[in-house]
Amino acid sequence: MWKRIRNSRRFPGVKQYFYALTVLFSAMAWVFSVILVTSVFWRVWEFDSQVVPIAFIGLWKAQYYLRSNDSGLVRDMLIDSNIHSGWTHAVELEYAKDLIVLVNFMQPVTLIFCLVAFLVSTSKRTYSAFVRLYSRSSALLLLLNSVFVAVAVGWNYIMDISGQSTLDFPLEIPVNKEDVIKKHLSHVFPLGIVTAALSLLNAILCFWTMTFLRAKSVKV
């Protein structure tokens, strides 16, 4: 403890660097979560079909290539389709939708908390209790974000590769899941794991910044 106090006195700007890192990591995690929620690559399926060779499925919309043969000239046209009640929905994607939306509501809150804690930490006056409250709140929200994102992308990935997903196409799309011959790994799973790890690391940093406040509150 005494060594920590001496280090905080010797390097008074160290804690500001930690607070700045929490702001940076919060902003990065928010950007990643926005990419996840808007991505149409949660499922990438390739089919044994001359009409629809490949489809990309997201949380709210899907895209697929519609192949046509015009006098021997093969053309692939990208078609957008909203995921509506005509689809056979998959429970894992429905839960992923709710979890990722919740994460996108919590991420800006954690960013604001981290930013306020950083700005207050740079002031000459000390508000240890205030900063500690914001740091603790940020850490708890970040832990929840990490768990929610990991569950969303992990459950989707497991159900996809295991073939147990109930997801299927509506009648207007001339293909069904029995025609799938290959499932591709997209950026969603690795980006989700990176986002979850980044939120977890940021939560640890938020808890770590509180050690500076505890050390400062100890009277020498």
Has residue 64 been placed in a domain? no
pTM: 0.86
| Structural domain includes residue 22 | yes
In a domain, 140, yes or no: yes
Cα distance between residue 212 and residue 7, in whole Å: 10
CATH code, domain with 206: 1.20.140
Task: Count up the domains in the chain and report the number.
Answer: 1
CA 172/CA 193 separation, integer angstroms: 34
pLDDT tens track, the chain, 220 positions: 434 434 444 445 666 788 888 899 999 999 999 999 999 999 999 999 989 999 999 999 999 999 987 777 888 999 999 999 999 999 999 999 999 999 999 999 999 988 888 888 776 666 667 777 888 889 999 999 999 999 999 999 999 999 999 999 999 999 999 999 999 999 999 999 999 999 999 999 888 877 765 544 444 4
Q: What are the angstrom distances between the C-alpha of 135 and each of 21, 24, 149, 181, 203?
A: 13, 14, 21, 49, 9
In whole angstroms, what is the distance from residue 198 CA to residue 205 CA? Answer: 10
Is 55 a domain residue?
Answer: no
For the beta carbon of residue 134, count every other beta carbon within 10 angstroms.
Answer: 23
22: containing domain: 2-42+87-217
